[in-house]
């Protein structure tokens, strides 16, 4: 629904299709509420709101799909469901119509296997809430045709998004670089850093949202799912805390903000600040998986243990060709994940603060925790030769 919302106010005519009238009604309501909020804030008049809303065509049928130039699918994160949708939709859409999937982790090439025209399949990963988060991560496969990419980028720019184009690897770019940091955060929690402290440590470093709150926002179940999938793809390098912790939290219904409790308990009646209290249930689970703290236990250590895994993974994405340019890496990290903006992004950070010092820190943690802190080759190259920069200075 958010994707429709950022399209209709840019003069794009959008068909919103759902399976049931109730689901459709919820989507329409969400879009209208979003527009109504803007009206209350006096960004648009009530008339403009109605006019924008007129660009939305909510339907249960495929009747008008023959007029579509692009289909963006945002259904449940299940490969079979997505395959079913592709097969159904392709019966109705015209030749030139691009099919984009708003998936956060399913490989696009796998999704494309159900299609008759895989060159027209592309990933368009939006970030929630879509009307506020500026990043759009476009994922291409070797089969994706150039005009398909061009169309996707064009639509993304028209929607007011900052667009990056990345390759089709597990977790693409944004999910992939976040995962090791989340794993590390779980380990910190197990070592006795409670959620409030964890938040303080990370916001003190420059992250706009504390790590524990971020986990709750993303969803503990999503985090668990991602940890499992990427763990399978990349092995123990992506490990950190015990995955059982997340699984147990999910089993206990601690899904984060969406279920009202995760690392914190959310009480909407008490307002934003007072309504967020530490969740005793979560602490109990963490207690059961206690790890003895190591020598890397100063505030600075906590900050850099999280930070270095994030940056290292980002650089590895460039190394492996998931990213084509460091600039896109920086934009993706800052606008999609809230990387401390004053660093300018992971690559800019390395240029400014030097790869060497980060490598030294990582080597120290590598001694304690092993391969999860092994610096990648590209990072080592930049450490060896300090004149090597990701961004050419002009």
Partner 1 sequence: MASPVLSAVKYANVTKGFLRDAVRCVSTTSSLQSPRRPKTGGKNIVLVEGVRTPFLQSGTTYKDLMPHDLARTALKGLLKRTDVNKSDVEYVVFGTVIQEVNTSNVAREASLGAGFSQKTPAHTVTQACISSNQAITTCIGLIASGQADAVIAGGVETMSDVPIRWGRKLRQMALKMNRTKGVQNQLSLLFRTLASKPALLEIPAVAEFSTGEVMGHSADRLCAAFGISRIEQDEYALRSHSKAHWASEKGLLSDVLPYKVPGVADTVVKDNGIRPSTIEQMSKLKAAFIKPHGTITAANSSFLTDGASACLLMTEEKALELGYKPKAYLREFVYVSQDPKDQLLLGPAYATPKVLERAGLAMSDISVFEFHEAFAGQILANLKAMDSDYFAKTYMNRTEKVGTPDLSKFNLWGGSLSIGHPFGATGVRLITTAANRLADEDGQFALVAACAAGGIGHGMIVERYPQK
d(CA 125, CA 8): 18
State yes or no: residue 366 binds partner 1 (CB under 8 A): no
- Cis ω for the linkage preceding 16 (within 30 of 0): no
Kindly tell me the number of DSSP H helices and DSSP E strands found in the chain.
18, 9
State yes or no: residue 385 binds partner 1 (CB under 8 A): no
Please state the closest distance from residue 36 (CB atom) to partner 1, in A. Answer: 7
Q: What is the DSSP letter of 275?
A: T
What are the catalytic residues?
137
Q: Which of 10, 12, 38, 55 binds partner 1 (CB under 8 A)?
A: 55
State yes or no: residue 58 binds partner 1 (CB under 8 A): yes
Q: Which two tokens stand for residue 109?
A: 């090439």
Among 238, 310, 256, which Cα is nearest to 128's? 256
* 19/22 with CB nearer partner 1: 22
* 48/191 with CB nearer partner 1: 48
State yes or no: residue 62 binds partner 1 (CB under 8 A): no
Q: Which of 21, 81, 157, 368 binds partner 1 (CB under 8 A)?
A: 21
Among 264, 69, 62, 47, which Cα is nearest to 151's? 69
d(CA 370, CA 380): 17
d(CA 67, CA 61): 13
d(CA 34, CA 29): 9
Q: Which of 19, 22, 298, 342 binds partner 1 (CB under 8 A)?
A: 22
Stretch that binds partner 1, among 49-57, 86-94, 183-191, 346-354 (CB under 8 A): 49-57
Q: Which of 51, 81, 280, 284 binds partner 1 (CB under 8 A)?
A: 51
d(CA 392, CA 245): 43
Cα-to-chain-centroid distance, residue 205? 20
Q: Which of 37, 40, 43, 54 binds partner 1 (CB under 8 A)?
A: 54
Return the CA Rg of the chain. Answer: 22
d(CA 186, CA 154): 39
Q: Which of 19, 41, 47, 271 binds partner 1 (CB under 8 A)?
A: 47
- Please give the residues from 63 up to 92 whose contact with partner 1 meets the rule CB under 8 A: 64
Stretch that binds partner 1, among 55-63, 70-78, 81-89, 296-304 (CB under 8 A): 55-63
- Please give the residues from 23 up to 42 whose contact with partner 1 meets the rule CB under 8 A: 24-26, 28-29, 32-33, 36
Q: Which residues bind partner 1 (CB under 8 A)?
A: 21-22, 24-26, 28-29, 32-33, 36, 47, 50-51, 54-55, 57-58, 64
């Amino acid at each position: 629904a958010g994707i429709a919302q950022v399209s209709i106010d840019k003069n794009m005519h959008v068909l919103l299709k759902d399976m049931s009238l109730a689901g459709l009604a919820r989507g329409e309501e969400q879009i209208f509420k979003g527009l109504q909020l803007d009206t209350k804030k006096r960004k648009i008049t009530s008339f403009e709101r109605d006019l924008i809303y007129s660009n939305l065509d909510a339907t249960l049928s495929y009747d008008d799909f023959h007029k579509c130039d692009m289909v963006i699918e945002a259904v449940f994160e299940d490969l079979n469901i997505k395959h079913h949708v592709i097969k159904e939709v392709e019966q109705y859409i015209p030749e030139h119509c691009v099919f984009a999937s708003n998936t956060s982790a399913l490989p696009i090439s796998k999704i494309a296997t159900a299609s008759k025209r895989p060159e027209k399949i592309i990933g368009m990963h939006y970030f929630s809430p879509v009307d506020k988060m500026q990043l759009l991560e476009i994922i291409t496969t070797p089969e994706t045709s150039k005009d398909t990419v061009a169309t996707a980028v064009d639509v993304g720019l028209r929607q007011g998004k900052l667009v990056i184009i990345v390759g089709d690897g597990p977790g693409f770019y944004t999910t992939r670089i976040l995962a090791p940091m989340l794993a590390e955060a779980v380990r910190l929690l197990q070592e006795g850093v409670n959620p409030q402290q964890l938040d303080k440590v990370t916001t003190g470093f420059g992250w706009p949202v504390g790590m524990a709150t971020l986990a709750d926002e993303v969803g503990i179940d999503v985090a668990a799912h991602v940890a499992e999938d990427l763990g399978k793809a990349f092995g123990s390098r992506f490990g950190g805390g015990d995955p059982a912790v997340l699984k147990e939290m999910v089993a206990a219904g601690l899904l984060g903000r969406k279920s009202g409790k995760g690392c914190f308990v959310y009480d909407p009646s008490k307002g934003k600040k007072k309504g967020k209290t530490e969740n005793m249930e979560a602490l109990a689970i963490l207690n059961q998986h206690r790890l003895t703290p190591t020598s890397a236990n100063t505030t600075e250590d906590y900050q850099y243990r999280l930070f270095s895994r994030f940056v290292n993974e980002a650089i590895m994405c460039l190394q492996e060709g998931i990213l084509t340019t460091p600039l896109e890496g920086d934009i993706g990290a800052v606008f999609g994940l809230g990387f401390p903006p004053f660093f300018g992004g992971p690559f800019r950070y390395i240029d400014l603060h030097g790869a060497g010092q980060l490598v030294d820190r990582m080597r120290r943690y590598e001694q304690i925790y092993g391969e999860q802190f092994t610096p990648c080759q590209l990072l080592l190259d930049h450490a060896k030769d300090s004149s090597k920069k990701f961004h050419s200075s002009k």
